[in-house]
């Protein structure tokens, strides 16, 4: 996605899990699997590695050195991150994948594959391949100068060769097969392509476009499985009609509620995504594939903000919060940027704040049980 959201999911991790208390059991299992405070190897993890693909919801810095307007390696992005520095994450702080890594016992975050940090034994805990502005629609990804899903897979294949040189073929294969693979894509396909591109709308009806995107998803999963991945989680689309960017574009900033037409089209996409995932599961018996529903938890928080600790859900914290999606609009000179992002659902007009990412991660623990 040109940028996105996404944000993501997670797992109840214990063989003797009690479904009555999934979150407690999951955290307990993570603690049991972790061998020591300084251990970050495969043997100390429920999942030996985490691999992320898709768009800006999971981009941890791959776009930093690319010739593209979709990058976040400057303040105020990253101001609330662990080192208070911009890393390329499209957030004030942690992404859902960061929160997940911590919860699963990782002592450090898997590096962006195109970063200098992605070398040697640091690769043994996985890597991030996602690129802001990437999407299921390859043409849109190319026009946005993003790393397409196809190129992300090529990088993933190259990664495997590098890991084999470090750890040997057998361990490399185990890291891939047992590792957690996360895909977040589609937000940009709609908000930053379909709804603003008349040419695409003439080519596809909303229903046809969702089918086109889901077909791309299916091919990606088959190709990823063909490269050895066996545990894959993909996020649904969130309620895009409630995003500040959509509210602005469709004239809803001064109104109540969300853009119903967009949310209805998102739900159509999500139904197709779930149906296709079920088909893939039958076609590929060795594959564990979970669709993480991020629509409902986010929509619930938007509809009842105070219950979830938010004061503002209709605009982002950075600058005006109405149109910014990285690029030059959310920058160090954006004097309107809020001082406390924890009270905001969104960081900019498309991406969630760390506080929202935390809610999403907490809400999706049970959904990832099937990936264990």
Active-site choice (25, 56, 210, 216): 56
First and final C-alpha spacing in the chain: 28
Other CB atoms within a 10 A radius of the CB of residue 311 amount to 12
> Please, how many CA atoms are within 13 Å of residue 130, restricted to the half-sphere of its CB?
38
Instruction: Tell me if 353 sits within 8 A of 5, measured CB to CB.
Output: no
Task: Specify the length of the chain in residues.
Answer: 372
Concerning whether 308 is annotated as a catalytic residue, the answer is no
For residue 111, what are its two tokens?
């590096």
Antiparallel, parallel or unpaired: β 231-235 and 180-184: parallel
For residue 261, what are its two tokens?
């037409």
Antiparallel, parallel or unpaired: β 231-235 and 288-292: parallel
What angle separates helix 206-226 from helix 260-283, to the nearest 10 degrees? 30
Active-site choice (115, 348, 349, 353): 348
Concerning whether 335 is annotated as a catalytic residue, the answer is no
Active-site choice (181, 225, 308, 351): 351
Concerning whether 293 is annotated as a catalytic residue, the answer is no
* DSSP secondary structure of 157-176: HHHHHHHHHHH-HHHHHHHH
Instruction: Tell me if 291 sits within 8 A of 273, measured CB to CB.
Output: yes
What angle separates helix 354-363 from helix 295-303, to the nearest 10 degrees? 120
Nearest to 10 by CA among 24, 21, 23, 1: 23
Instruction: Tell me if 160 sits within 8 A of 231, measured CB to CB.
Output: no
> Please, how many CA atoms are within 13 Å of residue 76, restricted to the half-sphere of its CB?
25
Q: What is the DSSP letter of 110?
A: P
Residues carrying an active site annotation: 56, 348, 351
């Amino acid at each position: 996605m040109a940028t996105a959201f996404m944000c993501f999911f997670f797992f109840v991790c214990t063989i003797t899990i009690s479904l009555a208390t999934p979150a407690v059991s999951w955290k307990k299992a993570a603690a049991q699997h972790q061998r020591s405070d300084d251990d970050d190897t495969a043997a100390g993890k429920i999942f030996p590695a985490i691999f992320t693909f898709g768009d800006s919801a999971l981009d941890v810095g791959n776009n930093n050195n690319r010739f593209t307007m979709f990058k976040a390696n400057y303040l105020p992005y990253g101001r609330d991150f662990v080192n208070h520095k911009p890393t390329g994450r499209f957030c004030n702080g942690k992404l859902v994948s960061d929160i997940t890594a911590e919860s699963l016992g990782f002592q450090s975050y898997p590096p962006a594959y195109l970063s200098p940090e992605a070398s040697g034994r640091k690769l043994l805990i996985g890597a991030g391949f996602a690129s802001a502005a990437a999407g299921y629609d390859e043409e849109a990804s190319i026009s946005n100068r993003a790393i397409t899903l196809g190129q992300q897979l090529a990088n993933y294949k190259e990664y495997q060769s590098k890991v084999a040189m470090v750890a040997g073929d057998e361990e490399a294969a185990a890291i891939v097969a047992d590792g957690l693979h996360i895909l977040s894509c589609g937000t940009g396909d709609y908000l930053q392509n379909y709804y603003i591109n008349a040419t695409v709308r003439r080519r596809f009806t909303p229903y046809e476009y969702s089918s086109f995107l889901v077909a791309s998803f299916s091919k990606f999963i088959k190709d990823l499985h063909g490269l050895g991945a066996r545990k894959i989680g993909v996020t649904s689309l969130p309620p895009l009609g409630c995003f500040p960017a959509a509210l602005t574009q469709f004239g809803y900033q001064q109104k109540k509620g969300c853009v119903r037409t967009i949310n209805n089209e998102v739900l159509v996409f999500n139904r197709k995504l779930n149906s296709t995932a079920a088909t893939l599961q039958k076609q590929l018996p060795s594959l564990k594939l979970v669709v993480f529903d991020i629509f409902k938890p986010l929509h619930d928080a938007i509809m009842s903000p105070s219950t979830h600790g938010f004061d503002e859900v209709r605009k982002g914290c950075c600058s005006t919060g109405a149109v910014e999606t990285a690029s030059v609009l959310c920058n160090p000179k954006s004097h309107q940027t809020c001082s406390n992002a924890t009270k905001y659902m969104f960081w900019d007009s498309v991406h969630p704040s760390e506080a929202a990412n935390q809610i999403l991660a907490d809400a999706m623990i049970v959904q990832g049980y099937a990936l264990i």
